[in-house]
Structure 1
Amino acid sequence: MLDATEHIAMYTAFSELLPLLAAGTTPLLKVKQICQAINTSSLTIENSTTLSGPFGSFSFSASAAFEVRTPTRIQVEFKEGTLQPPEIKSSIDLPENVDIFGLKISLSPMQQFLNPLQEAVASLARAISGQPPIKLPIPGGRTKSWLLITYLDKDFRISRGDGGLFVLAKEGSPLLDM
């Protein structure tokens, strides 16, 4: 999207993302990035999420069209979801230790059991490489929403929607380095 402004989520109180954020606190699955790209030329929005784990990462997104209602409010209608083919790592990437309920557990012994899977993982990566994304319609009554921009500057955006509060920083902003 050439005219899109991409923002990275720094905080959200959107209830539908809370299970995803909770899963990202597990030792082996992390939320790598949650983004929102707004394209003012085509009047479209793309919300995307990338998760990563020891075997690879996968991304999914939802695209929407929007209509400007006031200078600070837009009406949004979600059109479809997209599941990107997973990016399989050429080797299994386990951390040395994981912290579970305050107890540090070494994963080094598991590495020797996973070593035989290395070739299978590499073979899977070759098979999946280049596959097209899967497009899915957005079901039910959750296709329409609204977004109210309550603060906007060159690096920072705070928005409220019918699903919650969103605090985002523009990609490349020094705010993301904090």
Structure 2
Amino acid sequence: LLDGNWVLVFTAFSELLPLLSVGSIPFVKVEKIGQSIDTRSLTIENSTTLSTPTFTLSFSASAAFEIRSPSRIQVEFKEGSFNPPEIKSSVDLPESVNIFGQNINLSFVQQFLNPLQNAVAGVARAISGQSPLKIPIRGGQTKSWLLTTYLDKDFRISRGDGGLFVLVKEGSSLLDW
């Protein structure tokens, strides 16, 4: 049941809170925080995707794990990876944005951006297909543990190094809420 792609729907892990707060910055959205687990190769990949009106950025950390008990694994992070930004072929601005309690209409900005669409598309073609930047993870923060306290085909609750993680299996109807 642990194999597959999981989507983080709740956490109380303090180290992820700054990342989650990025979503409160105007024009930046946390699209997805996920975890892929492959029990055959004993690997985990934690990934994050952020988006703005002009690009999408994704990064991940890969790890190997050892099974310590039926519910506990020991994790060692090996490498971080930053994918080249995916430049959107058109600037996708909302009609308005709320900044410090003020609702600001952005329709006039879109008028000025329309002529830049071709330039943005050219940059997108130049960047696409570039290899990710891989960075080895070294130091004292490479090892962690994960204890799964509940697991079924759609839902998982895990704890690890002071954090609580609630995840839903990708493709589950639970994500439609």
* TM-score of the superposed pair, with normalisation by structure 1: 0.94
Looking at structure 2, the residues matched to 163 and 63 of structure 1 have their Cα atoms a distance apart, in angstroms, of 20
Looking at structure 2, the residues matched to 104 and 160 of structure 1 have their Cα atoms a distance apart, in angstroms, of 39
Shift of 1:87: 1.1
Shift of 1:28: 0.3
Looking at structure 2, the residues matched to 119 and 15 of structure 1 have their Cα atoms a distance apart, in angstroms, of 42
Looking at structure 2, the residues matched to 141 and 120 of structure 1 have their Cα atoms a distance apart, in angstroms, of 44
**Is the partner of 2:126 in helix, strand or coil?**
helix
Please say which of residues 159-168 and 96-105 is displaced more in the overlay.
96-105
The corresponding residue for 1:100 is 99
Shift of 1:150: 0.7
> Any residues of structure 2 matched to 1:79-90 within 5 Å, and which?
79-90=78-89
The corresponding residue for 1:144 is 143
The corresponding residue for 2:30 is 31
Looking at structure 2, the residues matched to 39 and 137 of structure 1 have their Cα atoms a distance apart, in angstroms, of 20
Alignment deviations for residues 83-106 of structure 1 (CA, whole Å, 9 cap, x no partner): 111111111110001122332111
Superposed structure 1 runs of 4+ greater than 4 Å apart: none
The corresponding residue for 2:54 is 55
Which residue type is aligned with residue 89 of structure 1?
K
Looking at structure 2, the residues matched to 100 and 129 of structure 1 have their Cα atoms a distance apart, in angstroms, of 32
Which residue type is aligned with residue 156 of structure 2?
R
Percent identity over the alignment is: 70
> Any residues of structure 2 matched to 1:28-177 within 5 Å, and which?
28-177=27-176
**Is the partner of 2:25 in helix, strand or coil?**
coil
Which residue type is aligned with residue 160 of structure 1?
R
Which residue type is aligned with residue 93 of structure 2?
L
Aligned length: 176
Looking at structure 1, the residues matched to 74 and 58 of structure 2 have their Cα atoms a distance apart, in angstroms, of 25
Please say which of residues 27-36 and 13-22 is displaced more in the overlay.
13-22
**Is the partner of 1:20 in helix, strand or coil?**
helix
Alignment deviations for residues 17-37 of structure 1 (CA, whole Å, 9 cap, x no partner): 111111112220000001001
Please say which of residues 66-75 and 4-13 is displaced more in the overlay.
4-13
For the aligned residue pairs, the C-alpha RMSD in angstroms reads: 1.4
Structure 1, unmatched stretches of 5+, are none
Looking at structure 2, the residues matched to 19 and 120 of structure 1 have their Cα atoms a distance apart, in angstroms, of 33
The corresponding residue for 1:10 is 9
Looking at structure 2, the residues matched to 135 and 30 of structure 1 have their Cα atoms a distance apart, in angstroms, of 24
Please say which of residues 156-165 and 98-107 is displaced more in the overlay.
98-107
Shift of 1:116: 3.7
Structure 2, unmatched stretches of 5+, are none
Alignment deviations for residues 116-168 of structure 1 (CA, whole Å, 9 cap, x no partner): 43222111101011111111111421100000001111110000000411000
